[in-house]
Chains A and B, each alone.
Chain A
Amino acid sequence: MSKGFDSSSKPELSALQGARMLAALEAAKTAAAHVSHEQCSANAALRRQQAELEAVQEAGQKAGERGRDVRNSLQLLRESVDRAKLSALNAGLEGARLGDPAGKALVVMGDEVRNLLARAADALDEHTALLLEVDGDRERAHLDLVRVNDSTRLNSSAFGRAAEQSQLTCALLAELSTDMGGVFGTNAAAGRLLAEAADQVQIMADSLQNLRQRAPLGVPELRELLAPLLALVPHEEDPTR
Chain B
Amino acid sequence: MAPRAGLLVKRGGERLFLAASIVRQLVPLPRLSKMPWDCAQMALVAGEIVAVVELAPPSGVLVLCEHAGQTLALSGLHAEQVGFWPATSAGVRVNGADVPALDLGLALAEFQATHHLNKDGAP
> Contact residues of A with B, CB < 8 Å?
82-83, 86, 89-90, 92-93, 95-97, 99-100, 103-104, 107, 110-111, 114
Contacts and interface: CB of A to CB of B under 8 A. Distances in A.
- Is chain B's binding surface mostly helix, strand, loop or mixed? strand
Interface in B80-120: 81-84
Contact of B26 (A90, A99, A104, A107): A90
B60 A96 contact: no
27 contacts: A82-B60, A83-B28, A86-B27, A86-B28, A86-B61, A89-B7, A89-B26, A89-B79, A89-B81, A90-B25, A90-B26, A92-B81, A92-B82, A93-B7, A93-B25, A95-B82, A96-B7, A96-B20, A96-B84, A97-B21, A99-B5, A100-B5, A100-B84, A103-B5, A107-B5, A111-B81, A111-B83
B5 A97 contact: yes
B6 interface: yes
Interface string B13-30: 000000011010111100
A104 B5 CA distance: 10
Contact of B5 (A86, A90, A96, A111): A96
A142 B17 CA distance: 52
B12 interface: no
Nearest to B62: A86
B5 A114 contact: no
Contacts of B27: 86
Given A89-B26, A100-B84, A107-B5, 7 more contacts: A89-B7, A96-B6, A97-B5, A104-B84, A107-B82, A111-B81, A114-B81
Nearest to A88: B82
- Is chain A's binding surface mostly helix, strand, loop or mixed? helix
Interface string B61-81: 100000000000000000101
Contacts of B5: 96-97, 99-100, 103, 107
Contacts of A111: 81-83
Contacts of A97: 5, 20-21
Contact of A96 (B26, B61, B83): B83
B3 interface: yes
B111 to A, nearest CB: 23
Contacts of B3: 100
Contacts of A100: 3, 5, 84
B81 A86 contact: no
Contacts of B21: 97
A4 B109 CA distance: 123
A107 B25 contact: no
Contacts of A89: 7, 26, 79, 81-82
A80 to B, nearest CB: 11
Contacts of B61: 86
Contacts of A83: 28
A213 B76 CA distance: 117
A22 to B, nearest CB: 91
B83 A92 contact: yes
Contacts of A96: 5-7, 20, 82-84
Contacts of A92: 81-83
A100 B79 CA distance: 21
Interface string B37-74: 00000000000000000000000110000000000000
B42 to A, nearest CB: 21
